[in-house]
Amino acid sequence: MMEKPLNNRAWLLVAPVFLIVAFSAILPIMTVVNYSVQDTFGNNQFFWNGLGWFQELLDPSTELGGRFFDALWRNLMFSAIILAIEVPLGILVALSMPRDGWKVAATLVLMALPLLIPWNVVGTIWQVFARADIGLAGWALNALGIPYNYTGDVISAWVTIVVMDVWHWTSLVALLCYAGLKSIPDAYYQAARIDGASRWAIFTTIQLPKMKRVLLIAVLLRFMDSFMIYTEPFVLTGGGPGNATTFLSIDLVKLALGQFDLGKAAAMSLVYNLIVLAVCWVFYTVMTHAGTERPVREIAS
């Protein structure tokens, strides 16, 4: 909350970090920038293309622009769906978690399990679990008369990916909300009971406002993660059926490594990056704004 006094020698100590960041982030990004303004036919032969790729990318009528915007909408749609499910569900789970006793530890461990599984393993688990022929879920659904096949049916594929993400990440939202709930002093609940507040009123007047900050963090994390999702759909559907689950990241890899269109891929990844940064900035502003609303020092002198 208060900065330490500035000391010029501190910059020396920070220098190694700058060097590392330069090599790990700035140089690769500059390489990508370099690619994005050139075209290549392989053999390390490059041609200056100016902003050509960017113009093409941002024009939905071109082939590149078309697939870019398709993938972008898919991404946004996916993020919106999982946020709409995971946030309320996470809050609900957090609200129903036990407050004290041995159950707390047990619940926390259980909740953390999905978070500990590597992402490609999550994809594999669901790939098998949801298979219409041998997977328990897929087989059961079909046995119940619901036509389900994520490799062939667009709806099935989307449902599977969404359910997988919800299974994987709702815990995170729930744990964050739980931490927020735990920080509310008992007196608030007592006061609300005395005021005759209903369960719903307690939620909207006490719990939700006190969870606001952690919820913002949860939404930010989940949005970023889902916007950059790659591994799980890649393992599960490979972007199919057709291009139905080809998200930006998957498309990017197809473009860069599948078709070796380095220039196009570079331009796309830069725009992708800028979108992520912009969203980050918006969230950051909202979050710091939410911070300043609070009374700065309540019991200080």
Contact residues toward another protein (CB under 8 A) are 2, 4-7, 185, 187-188, 190-191, 193-198, 201, 205-206, 209-210, 293-295, 297-301
**Type of residue numbered 50:** G
| CB-CB contact of 111 with 174 (8 Å) | yes
- Cβ closest to another protein, residue 4 vs residue 113: 4
| Under 8 Å between Cβ of 259 and 86 | no
Within 10 angstroms of residue 126's Cβ, the number of other Cβ atoms is: 23
Which residue's entry shows tokens 């498309």?
251
C-beta of 205: minimal distance to another protein in Å?
A: 5
The number of beta carbons lying within 10 Å of the beta carbon of residue 262 is 21
| Nearest residue (CB) to another protein, 201 versus 274 | 201
Burial class (CB in 10 A: 0-12, 13-18, 19+), 36: buried
Rank residues 14 and 299 by Cβ distance to another protein and give the closer one: 299
Contact residues for 296 (Cβ-Cβ < 8 A; gap 6+): none
- CA–CA distances in Å: residue 56 to residues 52, 70, 73, 253: 6, 14, 17, 18
Question: How is residue 5 annotated by DSSP?
Answer: P
Give me the residues paired with residue 40 across strands. 46
Q: Please give the structure tokens belonging to residue 264.
A: 């196009």
235 touches 127 (CB < 8 A): yes
Give me the least distance between CB of 104 and another protein, in Å please: 19
Task: Output 63 or 100, the one with its CB closest to another protein.
Answer: 100
Question: Taking the complex as a whole, how short is the minimal distance between the CB of residue 196 and another protein, in angstroms?
Answer: 4
80 or 201, CB closer to another protein?
201
CB nearer another protein, residue 8 or residue 44: 8
Q: How far is the CB of 93 from another protein (least distance, A)?
A: 23
Cβ 90 to another protein, closest distance in Å?
Answer: 21
Smallest gap from Cβ 1 to another protein, in A, equals 9
Identity of the residue numbered 27:
L
Q: How far is the CB of 98 from another protein (least distance, A)?
A: 19
Q: Which one, 11 or 23, has the nearer CB to another protein?
A: 11
